[in-house]
A and B are shown apart, each in its own frame.
Chain A
């Protein structure tokens, strides 16, 4: 059973300064926590400035997964990486609000393209600021 579960690792792809994660499986709680740790580990190893998490195929986000996502956004922020959640289905958004779950600090975008634009804007202005300070 344990072996079967650990096979279901969610791939994290590095693209330029960003990490891209597409959650394609119905995650059980431990898998969600493992993913959180893996992403932070990757941020630390690669120095990625942004993380895009695509949840467009997730049919459900309950309080546990919601909490994992918002926790990860806060943790990544401390590590100087910006997290954008993209592609939340309308039914999932409705249910999350009715459930009463707030996700403080979580930035969202409608789709992958808008998410990348958001990251570029955010990370771009930051590095411009840094280079100005250096001059």
Chain B
């Protein structure tokens, strides 16, 4: 892939179904490749890749899997790379609690969501119990 045109509407770059531990690796490799392609510095590449890894693991462990979508476009006046993790799992009943450092409902250590938030420029989460969760992280490029 070469340089991609940026329009008002986000352009979809890639999407991937995360259904196994191996897919988490694959998703972060896509994140690394795209962040390189948009000439992010090495630290931002690592931040984004790590955030993707945390979100995909969350999705895999708590919802049994889901989809990750990579898009580019304009976001709050910045050119940005947007990554959405969408699952149809049990959802999160208390978002405020889930975003607290150290809070965990399962096997994790509770760094997934708040940790990923600190690594990106914008973090958006919506969840409905019984329906699923959407997490969208955005990094300026």
Residue positions of A touching B, CB distance < 8 A? 1, 5, 26-30, 59-64, 67, 89-92, 94-95, 98-101
Contact = CB atoms under 8 A, between A and B. Distances in A.
A99 B21 contact: no
Contacts of B25: 26-28
Contacts of B21: 28-30
Contacts of B24: 28-29
A62 B22 contact: no
B116 to A, nearest CB: 8
Contacts of A95: 43, 46-47, 50, 119
B114 to A, nearest CB: 7
B78 interface: no
B29 A1 contact: no
12 contacts: A1-B20, A1-B22, A26-B25, A30-B21, A59-B45, A62-B50, A62-B53, A64-B57, A91-B43, A91-B45, A98-B118, A98-B119
A91 B24 CA distance: 20
A95 B57 CA distance: 17
Interface stretch (B9-17, B63-71, B91-99, B104-112): B104-112
B111 A99 contact: yes
Nearest to A31: B21
Interface residues of B, number: 28
A60 B115 contact: no
Interface of B: 20-22, 24-25, 28-29, 32, 42-43, 45-47, 49-50, 53-54, 57, 101, 108-109, 111-112, 114-116, 118-119
B49 A63 contact: no
Contact of A92 (B28, B32, B46, B101): B46
A26 B52 CA distance: 14
B101 A60 contact: no
Contacts of B20: 1
Contacts of B101: 100
Given A60-B28, A63-B54, A99-B119, A91 B46 contact: yes
A60 B54 contact: no
Contacts of B116: 99
A26 to B, nearest CB: 5
